Amino acid sequence: MTQEERALAFAALHRKGEPVVLYNIWDAGSACCVAEAGAKALATGSWSVAAAHGYGDGQKVPLALLIETVREIVAAVDLPLSVDFEGAYSEDPAQGAANVAELIDAGAIGINFEDQVVGRGGIHPIDRQVARIRAIRDMAERQGVPLFINARTDLFLQESDVSRHAGLVDETIARARAYAGAGASGFFAPGLVDADLIARLCEASPLPVNVMMKPGAPDLSILAAAGVGRVSYGPFPYRAMIAWLRGEAEKAFGK
């Protein structure tokens, strides 16, 4: 497929109530493994990519290394690839868009783009994040690539008390609508695990909603019934693999 064909195919996988499943990868080897298991598309997880290269999460992986990793994945597997690009390695809209352009040049057809202030804490105001999304969309249109911008809100990740999540839904819906108006393609709310709140968000969001599979999250059938359009696994595949590897290594060393 051409890059444009991969981008269009990826967007078409996002159907309300029939979520595309993305089992997050971190390098070309894991991409090949997940593709052989039957994946229709691929998506990196920033935590996993960072850990696999010996870095912490939060844009600590050098941008050049991330771009090279994307090139290696694209060369190894002919499936649409979305890249978890955190905050685009810049708070400046123009520079962030220029950084995303490098991902497009490397073959990516989608990104996760979050509204947390990476490295400093807190959430960008809606108008600020809208400007950043719009700059990325404008750049992608100039490049002629229908980039899938999965606009992520970190509201739920930054509130560890799940009993308070209901109080965040109105702002979340407002962000989903604003991000859609700025050119986003999907809306990601990691950390939200309450099925009723997820259904409420799906009903109100003009964009297909992405939910992260994590301990305590509803199963896939419940998420589908709630109207979710995309399910991803974040760092959990990598963590499970590393736990297995550590256990096998400990056996080898007689621990």
Mean pLDDT of 34-43: 98
What is the predicted pLDDT for the residue at 1?
Answer: 87
Q: How far apart are CA 213 and CA 168, in angstroms?
A: 20
Return the SS3 of 48.
helix
Strands 230-232 and 209-212: parallel
CATH number listed for the domain at residues 3-252 = 3.20.20.60
Residue boundaries of the structural domains of the chain? 3-252
> What DSSP string describes 171-205?
HHHHHHHHHHHHT-SEEE-TT---HHHHHHHHHH-
How far is Cα 108 from Cα 103, in angstroms, rounded to an integer? Answer: 6
**Number of other residues whose CB lies within 10 A of the CB of residue 143:** 14
Tell me if the pTM is above 0.75.
yes
Return the structure tokens found at 74. 């694209």
pLDDT over 90 at 71, yes or no:
yes
| CA 101 – CA 169 distance, rounded (Å) | 32
Confidence category of residue 102, pLDDT binned at 50, 70, 90: very high
Type of residue found at 8? L
Phi, psi angle pair for 147, to nearest 5° = -55, 135
What is the average per-residue pLDDT within 97-114?
Answer: 98
- Rounded Cα distance, 125 and 255, in Å: 50
* DSSP assignment letter at 128: H
